[in-house]
Chains A and B, each alone.
Chain A
Amino acid sequence: MRDLTDRALGAASAAGATYADVRIERFERQVVSVKNGRPDGLLDDESQGFGVRVVVGGAWGFASSSRLEAREIERVAHRAVEIARASALVLAEPVDLGESIRSVGAYSTPVQIDPFAVAVDDKLAVLMEADAAMRAVRGIAVSEGSFECQRLRKVFASTEGSYVEQTLVETGAGIEALAVGEDDAQRRSFPNSFGRQHSTAGYEYFQSMKLAENAGRTAEEAVKLLTAKPCPDGVTTVILDSSQAALQVHESCGHPIELDRVFGTEASYAGTSFLTLDKRGTYRYGSDHVTIAADATIPGALGTFGFDDEGVPARRTIIVDRGIFKNYLTSRETAARLGESSNGTMRADGWSRIPLIRMTNINLEPGDWSLEDLIADTDDGVFLQTNRSWSIDDVRLNFQFGTEIGWEIKHGKLGAMLKNATYTGITPRFWGACDAVCKEWTVWGTPNCGKGQPSQAMHVGHGAAAIRVRGVQIGVMR
């Protein structure tokens, strides 16, 4: 690869780039799907290509191509320079990347069993067993399950001397049961909604997921939801399970701490942020129970890697410390505007995309409560589980989320099942009313975090445990 990266960087520099980097990526993915006891598609996906990013005259340019050939690399490097010169025609501020970065190294996801080496029959057998257990439950109209693994090999090189090789492996799976009644349809998922739960790991992760063991319960809950009570309207105490708490962290903390949003460079699509620069270090984001860290080094988490796509080594950064907002997610360019160094969060979702500031693993640090004790300690409220719907405003203040299932909490015990549960709030008020975080901590993988134009879907992680929040508005759907 070194000859190709040298050629790209040499061509860009010769054409006038004051900075250039190149990423060459090879990507493999396998998706195995079943539905209603039948196979529903087997996809064997491969893609390769490279992208060249340059600064010319203080302006950015980027071009990419799928043709990994020496002449094409030079053509694309020249095209990136040409594009940068066009950017310079309407420039707000020249690019300043701060101090140079020279990273040389390699990283590979620790993998016990190569997921691509395992026979499809084995994957299908697990999915089919879970599917059969779901279909055995009367009232299930659709049962489905899927397995996905992917391997990304990438090389990053820059004119500052960085040369980094990485191999990132992901494995994930999930099942869903859809119950359809006379005038209602209800879905339950395991372990998480919207397809799958993912990890940076090998096939051993799939083996640990216990899909078949949880399939019957998942399907039974879907059927019971058809006749469950609708979530009432009102203001009450809410306990979120760890997966919904993870989604809450993602939307209401992970996005507003992206420093590019704060600087307005995502204004036309993802939005901006209520966490403006004046709030850093002093703003009360949440209660004393709320400590949040960005950590790209957690083994197995979906946002774990060795180096970001600017060559900055992965690291841990405290974001919210006992309720006080402390730090942003940064890139070289945005950090330089604060006179700081990047904390390593720039990632692209493929060879054809530029890196953007993306969440790594944004984790709500665990507390002391057990979930059982927390419910027992709650006189009146609701317990909400597994995300179904999410929406939040463009500065990340006003949110409304829905869950697949809920339960009443009465006198410290779970009561009636609730369907169509929704809750809404304003971010700092919500986290300010959080009075307990549990200790049973799970790292959830979110494989569909959207940002940027052209749109990029990033894989990020969230460690979280169940939380209790007082005075939450629930039940806004009718």
Chain B
Amino acid sequence: MDELLGRARFESLADRALDASRADQTEVVVIGVDSALTRFANSGIHQNVAERNVQVRVRAIVGRRAGVATTNDLSDAALARVVERAVEAAKRQPEDPGLPDLPGPLPAEPVPSFSQATADCTPEQRARMVRPICALAVEHGLKASGACSTETTEIGIANSRGVRRHELRSASSLLTVILDDEGSGYAERTARDIDSIDAEALGREAVDKAVRSRGAERFEPGEYPVVLEAYAVGEMLMYLAYMGFGALALQEGTSFLRGRLGQRIVDPRISVSDDGRNPLGLPASFDYEGVPKQRVALIEDGVAAGVVYDTKSAAREGRPSTGHGLPAPSTFGPFPSHLSMAAGDTPPAELAKGIERGLWVTRFNYVNVVKSDRAVLTGLTKDGTFLIERGEVTRPVKNLRFTQGVLEAWSGLRALGAERRLIEGWGGAVLAPAMRLDAFRFTGVSDV
């Protein structure tokens, strides 16, 4: 990969922008992206794209007024203009007495965030990863679809209070949906280093699911014990983050954690944290304000333990940011994008044990929030829903719709998987185990 910008050019760009600013405080955020994605369907590559972009975001604070301007034109003239636009934007606003200062410099240890193999991955390599998946599908009379993607992100942050950060981050992903008219299967791998992804193993997992899900029968909606694979648990975690693991949602009263910090909210075997430094995830050492990422316990032994903060939400409580700021101006507030749930001790083969009659769910589809302050979600099962009878997976069933409070469901935890999967998430990735639950509420069936 050709260098997007590089530390030296970032430093020079930041110096010029900070020098040019007439604001009381100025922040320069440079986000460079070099990404590629090979997409396949009907067992062939049908879309294949690449993108390079470097965006400069300038936040100017004049008095207690903030303005943000962006550009991806890196010429000297455009750089001077974007600074001026940010200053003008700030000046055009009324004073906001609650606006905090930009964060100051804090020590941040580097993390292993970059993979040269991912950065160097070529379209031919991605095609070679896709090919065995398609071949396996065709061999079984199925069709393969999916995507293989690589991304290198260069993030540089500098502000007039002395913050200077620069980091290269890598992410790669391979996912597939294998299907025919009778059934479908899914598999996904997300990793920093694309060379660690075994495409054939992924293809076998999805083909196996697709073959086993053929001939699914309608199953009456109702409340059943379930095994949720890591894909499904990971998605629930992401939606919990969206609904209430950020301080702003808690402060405004929409979080399901309102009034419940320190209380038991789920089974005591469940612990959830956000840790940008976790090498098992997609590490990042600082947020979009340049604040070092802290590990934050969100649920500890089933007890609501905390939320994540950016500078603004932290200032409201007179505490430091935890390093979870999004690019300014973030009206959403802070967000945890490196979630993980602690693993349990149940091996995959024993997850269904003890269920007399229940359902095995591979993943969810089209999940959405029904009520965020109660953490209620709806969505459908997809790509491998099976009946469990007397502790064994017996036959496929048609996809079902669920409407379920996450905390209520997780209070009925009966087993937690010993293995975890890294799943592509919003702005990062989620590390999740599978779980067995006492009850899960299915409210409809998909006529598929």
Nearest CB on A from B370, distance (A): 5
Q: Is the CB of B366 within 8 A of A391?
A: yes
**A258 CB to closest chain B CB, in angstroms?**
13
Q: Which of A4-12, A46-54, A366-374 contacts B (4 or more CB under 8 A)?
A: A46-54
Residues of B contacting A187 in the complex (Cβ-Cβ under 8 angstroms)? 254
Contact among A87, A141, A353 with B45 in the assembled complex (CB-CB below 8 Å) = A87
Interfacial residues of chain A within 57-112, with CB under 8 A of chain B in the complex: 59-67, 79-80, 82-87, 89-93
B37 proximal to A (CB < 8 A): yes
Interface string of B358-398 (1 = CB under 8 A from A): 00000001111111110010111010000000000000000
Supposing A66-B52, A180-B252, A268-B146 touch, asked if A477 and B403 sit within 8 A by C-beta, the answer is yes
B322 beta carbon closer than 8 Å to chain A: no
Contact check, B145 vs A91: say whether CB atoms are below 8 A apart: no
How big is the A interface, by class?
35 or more
User: What is the CB-to-nearest-CB distance from B416 to chain A, in angstroms, rounded to a whole number?
Assistant: 26
Chain B residues with Cβ below 8 Å from A400 are: 378, 401, 403, 443-444
- B373 near A185: Cβ-Cβ < 8 Å: yes
Query: Chain B 133-172 against A: per-residue CB contact (8 Å), 1 yes, 0 no?
Result: 0100000000101110100000000000000000000000
For residue B33, which residue of chain A has the nearest CB? A352
Interface hits, B237-262 → A, CB 8 Å: 252-254, 258
Contact A46 B145 (CB under 8 A): no
By the criterion CB–CB under 8 Å, are A86 and B48 in contact? yes
A268 lies within 8 A of B124 (CB): no
Residues in A neighbouring B44, C-beta threshold 8 A? 90-93
A41-B328 contact given A86-B126, A141-B252, A453-B147, CB 8 Å threshold: yes
Contacts of A64 in B (CB 8 A): 49-53
- Whether the pair B49, A424 counts as a contact (CB closer than 8 A) is no
0 or 1 for each of A377-399: is its CB under 8 Å from B? (1 = yes): 00000000000011111110110
A264–B145 touching, CB < 8 Å: yes
Assess whether B368 is in contact with A390, with CB atoms less than 8 Å apart: yes
**Pairwise interchain contact B45-A46, C-beta atoms closer than 8 A:** no
Asked if residues A43 and B68 are in contact (CB atoms below 8 Å), the reply is yes
Residue contact A46 to B71, C-beta cutoff 8 Å: yes
Contacts of A353 in B (CB 8 A): 49, 51
A426 to B201 Cα, complex, angstroms: 36
Q: Are A265 and B41 in touch, CB under 8 angstroms?
A: yes
Give B43's nearest chain A residue, CB to CB. Answer: A92
B352 CB within 8 Å of chain A: no
CA distance A36 to B27 in the complex (A): 25
B72 proximity list for chain A (CB < 8 A): 46-49, 66
The interface on chain B, measured as residues whose beta carbon lies within 8 A of the other chain's beta carbons, has a size of 92
Looking at A119-127, A312-320, A458-466, the stretch in contact with chain B turns out to be A119-127
Cβ–Cβ contact B130 & A90, under 8 A = yes
- Cα distance A389–B149 in the bound complex, in angstroms: 30
Does A202 count as interface, using CB distance less than 8 angstroms?
Answer: no
Contact A264 B41 (CB under 8 A): yes
CA distance A82 to B50 in the complex (A): 11
Instruction: Kindly state whether residue B264 has any CB partner on chain A within 8 Å.
Output: no
Task: Tell me whether A44 and B447 are in contact (CB under 8 A).
Answer: no
Contact A453 B149 (CB under 8 A): yes
Chain B residues contacting A352 (CB-CB under 8 Å) are: 51, 53
The reply to whether B378 and A393 form a contact with Cβ atoms under 8 Å apart is: no
- The answer for the CA separation of A84 and B46 in the assembled complex, in Å, is 10
For residue A283, give the distance in angstroms from its CB to the closest CB of chain B.
Answer: 14
A146 to B332, CA, bound (A): 13
Contact in complex: A453, B39 (CB < 8 Å): yes
CA distance A92 to B135 in the complex (A): 11
Q: Are B131 and A89 in contact (CB under 8 A)?
A: yes
Chain A residues within an 8 Å CB radius of B69: 43-46
Say whether B270 faces chain A, with CB atoms less than 8 Å apart: no
| A154, CB-defined interface residue at 8 Å | no
Which positions 292-321 of chain B face chain A at CB distance < 8 Å?
Answer: none
Which chain B residues lie closer than 8 Å to A453 at the CB level?
Answer: 37, 39, 47, 147, 149
Q: What's the least CB distance linking A133 to chain B, in Å?
A: 17
B55 at the interface (CB under 8 A from A): yes
Q: How far is the CA of A80 from the CA of B131 in the complex (A)?
A: 20
- Shortest A138–chain B CB gap in Å is 15
Residues of A within 8 A of B444 (CB): 398, 400, 424, 476
* Interface residue A33 (Cβ < 8 Å from any Cβ of B): yes
**Can you list 16 contacts pairing A with B, beta carbon distance less than 8 Å?**
A33-B331, A39-B65, A39-B93, A40-B331, A49-B53, A63-B49, A63-B50, A85-B123, A266-B41, A267-B143, A352-B51, A391-B367, A391-B368, A397-B446, A398-B399, A422-B403
Q: Which residues of A contact B (CB under 8 A)?
A: 31, 33, 35, 38-49, 59-67, 79-80, 82-87, 89-93, 119-121, 124, 141-142, 144, 146, 178, 180, 184-185, 187, 263-269, 271, 352-354, 389-395, 397-398, 400, 402, 420, 422, 424, 426, 453-454, 476-477
State the B residues within 8 Å of A (CB). 35-55, 65-74, 82, 85-86, 88-90, 92-94, 96-98, 122-124, 126-128, 130-131, 134, 143, 145-147, 149, 175-177, 179, 252-254, 258, 328-331, 365-373, 376, 378-380, 382, 399, 401, 403, 443-448
**Supplied contacts A354-B47, A400-B403, 17 more A-B pairs, CB within 8 Å:** A40-B329, A42-B89, A44-B69, A62-B49, A64-B50, A65-B51, A86-B124, A87-B46, A124-B92, A141-B252, A187-B254, A264-B41, A265-B145, A392-B366, A393-B380, A422-B370, A453-B47
